[in-house]
Amino acid sequence: MTDWKDKARALVKDLSTSGHLSDNQWRQAFQAIPRHLFVPRFWQDPVTVLAGDDPATADQWLQAVYSDQSLTTQYAPVPGTDLMWATSSSTKPSLMAHMLTMLHPHTGHTVLEIGTGTGYNTALLCHRLGDTHVTSIDIDPDLIAAARARLATLGYCPTLLAGDGARGASINAPYDRIIATCAVPTIPPSWIDQLAPSGIIVADLRGDLASSIAILRKNQPDTVTGRFSRVPGHFMWLRADVANPLRDGGVYNTLIDHADADQYTTTLDPRILDDPDLRFVLQLTDPTLQHLWHSHHDDTPTLHLSAEDGSWAQAQPHHDHTLITQGGPRRIWTTIEHATTLWNQLGRPSRDRFGLTATATTHHYWLDHPNNKLDDLTVAAA
């Protein structure tokens, strides 16, 4: 591998020019760490592999590795289905750069990384802080073993653990910084507990409709507070079962019972849900919403929405009204109407005006200032 350093320098230049990589110490890390070592192969789809040791794909593989792309490095079958879901990847470098910059570590700080994956982000942390200050955990022992070997090639021996990231890693706690390269719907209590006073958590808080990277600081013994950013993460879910790619380790259910449906009309145009900031508020209002998609039949556009409990709704816009058909245990279009009303009353704020105060038991969302809590957006911690 003779030209990876040139490609790494070119990637750093592109990330710096685009404004994604502004910190010189992180520039040095991205330039020094060989990403190809941590991504010897990746999947374009569940059946197509590009690998550095395959002469037919090596050039395309190397070009992709040193570009600003997320690369899927592992798939797993969904139990009881024919589906294959991605379970590990090498994150898009620009997103990594954003999150590492948000982490704002200082020399001597200790860091817990949730989601070791390939080990590439771990290596960047080791370069910046020293490997003795880095702890990383992943649910998959095979990923941990591969990352350990790759990191050792560079002379790094951080603490690597196989286990449930939701429980954190008490072994080296408290940590000055915690960074999650997987998504969570709420902040696990163990992360708050294992964070040092004034420590920072950087994590992707998301549901299935929206995502935003949150930067939270521990300002009380059992509380973290901070803002959401405009940067979406859309990371793979933190999961508790290595054999199951579903976040809850349950069964994938695609069945929707259309019995006992009812209909009514509304003036709300469902196309407003294309706005990512409204989707963000909707996700905060009801974290159980999980699928939103569009279809066309007989020239009639239809928006479909479903929730974890089997509730569902369909919205068909017409000239002066929208026809709502919904069913299941509850009527979830009411949630849409409520979230839209709230968003409009607040002046249609962007997601970076929202913040979160989290404890082990509750998540209070607020607008602009922690004292401006939104009672409609207070939920129980997972």
Q: Which CATH number goes with the domain that contains 316? A: 3.30.160
SS3 (DSSP) at 52: coil
- Report if residue 364 sits inside a domain: no
- Report if residue 294 sits inside a domain: yes
Q: Are 27 and 168 in the same domain?
A: yes
Q: Are 217 and 121 in the same domain?
A: yes
Q: Are 166 and 208 in the same domain?
A: yes
Compute the half-sphere exposure of residue 328: CA atoms within 13 Å on the CB side of its CA. Answer: 20
The domain boundary, picked from 206, 228, 250, lies at 228
Alpha helices in the chain (DSSP H): 4-17, 24-32, 35-38, 58-65, 93-103, 120-129, 141-153, 189-194, 276-285, 333-345
- Report if residue 77 sits inside a domain: yes
- Report if residue 303 sits inside a domain: yes
CB atoms closer than 10 angstroms to residue 326: 21
CATH of the domain at 182: 3.40.50.150
Contact 40, 62 (CB under 8 A): no
Q: Are 280 and 190 in the same domain?
A: no
Tell me the C-alpha distance between 245 and 252, whole Å: 10
What is residue 300's predicted lDDT score, i.e. its pLDDT? 79
- Report if residue 373 sits inside a domain: no
What is residue 326's predicted lDDT score, i.e. its pLDDT? 94
Closest Cα to residue 112, out of 152, 64, 163, 66? 163
- Report if residue 253 sits inside a domain: no
- Report if residue 324 sits inside a domain: yes
Closest Cα to residue 136, out of 119, 153, 150? 119
Q: Are 25 and 122 in the same domain?
A: yes
**Partners of residue 300 on adjacent β-strands:** 297
Cβ contacts of 111 within 8 Å, gap of 6 or more? 103, 105, 125, 129, 133, 134, 135, 175, 176, 177, 178, 179
- Report if residue 256 sits inside a domain: no
Element (H, E) at 314: strand 312-317
Q: Are 220 and 271 in the same domain?
A: no
What is residue 319's predicted lDDT score, i.e. its pLDDT? 85
Give rounded-to-5 percent helix, strand, coil for the chain: 30, 35, 35
What is residue 2's predicted lDDT score, i.e. its pLDDT? 54
What is residue 340's predicted lDDT score, i.e. its pLDDT? 94
Q: Are 73 and 215 in the same domain?
A: yes
Q: Are 216 and 269 in the same domain?
A: no
Element (H, E) at 225: strand 223-228
Q: Are 57 and 126 in the same domain?
A: yes
The domain boundary, picked from 228, 244, 274, lies at 228
What is residue 256's predicted lDDT score, i.e. its pLDDT? 64
Counted domains in the chain: 2
User: Which positions of the chain have pLDDT values less than 70?
Assistant: 1-2, 249-258, 376, 378-382
Compute the half-sphere exposure of residue 63: CA atoms within 13 Å on the CB side of its CA. Answer: 4
Q: Are 191 and 287 in the same domain?
A: no
The CA-atom distances, in angstroms, between 145 and each of 119, 148, 150, 161, 171 are: 10, 5, 9, 9, 19
Q: Are 183 and 59 in the same domain?
A: yes
What is residue 299's predicted lDDT score, i.e. its pLDDT? 72
Verdict on whether the full-model pTM lies above 0.85:
yes
Q: Which two tokens mark 125?
A: 């942390």
SS3 (DSSP) at 379: strand
Domain residues for the domain of 124 are 4-228
Closest Cα to residue 103, out of 117, 118, 124? 124
Tens digit of each residue's pLDDT (9 = 90 or more) over 294-347:
888 777 789 999 988 889 999 999 888 999 999 999 999 998 999 999 999 999
Contact 220, 155 (CB under 8 A): no
Q: Are 82 and 128 in the same domain?
A: yes
